[in-house]
């Protein structure tokens, strides 16, 4: 939550694509998060107000096991990001960097940049 609050207070630029917004909404509905639709909207609304929405034109196809992760790389590349923050320890996180974009866990991002 601290990372989200930092985005809302504009301590960094939160970059996301329309495809990733849909994915985020889908993931937040998982039972393990225990969030209602209203809670999800309450979480996403302030983020979307400060987010930079990027419509990627670059196509990336380096992650075969989970092709959806390529959408994250496309967004970061076209959004000229310095860092990707992920909870995906199998695919994205294992890459470490992509076109000089650092790939960090949420904890690493918080400790290094916030």
10 has pLDDT over 80 = yes
Question: What is the overall mean pLDDT for the chain?
Answer: 94
Q: How confident is the model over 23-35, as a mean pLDDT?
A: 93
Domain membership of residue 67 as a residue range:
2-113
Tokens 């990707």 found at: 84
Looking at the structure of the chain, the number of domains it has is 1
Q: Can you give the CATH number for the domain in which 89 is found? A: 3.40.50
What's residue 4's pLDDT? 85
Classify burial at 87, counting beta carbons within 10 Å of its beta carbon; exposed 0-12, middle 13-18, buried 19 or more: exposed
pLDDT of residue 72: 97
Q: What is the pLDDT of residues 68-91, one digit of tens each?
A: 999 999 999 999 999 999 988 889
Its pTM surpasses 0.85: yes
């Amino acid at each position: 939550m601290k990372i989200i609050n930092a985005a809302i207070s504009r301590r960094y630029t939160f970059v996301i694509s329309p495809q990733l917004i849909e994915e985020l909404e889908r993931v937040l509905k998982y039972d393990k998060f225990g969030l209602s639709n209203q809670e999800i909207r309450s979480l996403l609304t302030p983020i979307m107000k400060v987010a930079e929405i990027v419509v990627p034109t670059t196509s990336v196809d380096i992650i075969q096991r989970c092709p959806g992760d390529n959408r994250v790389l496309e967004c970061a590349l076209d959004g000229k990001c310095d860092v990707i923050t992920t909870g995906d320890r199998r695919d994205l996180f294992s890459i470490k960097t992509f076109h000089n974009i650092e790939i960090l866990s949420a904890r690493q991002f918080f400790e290094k940049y916030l």
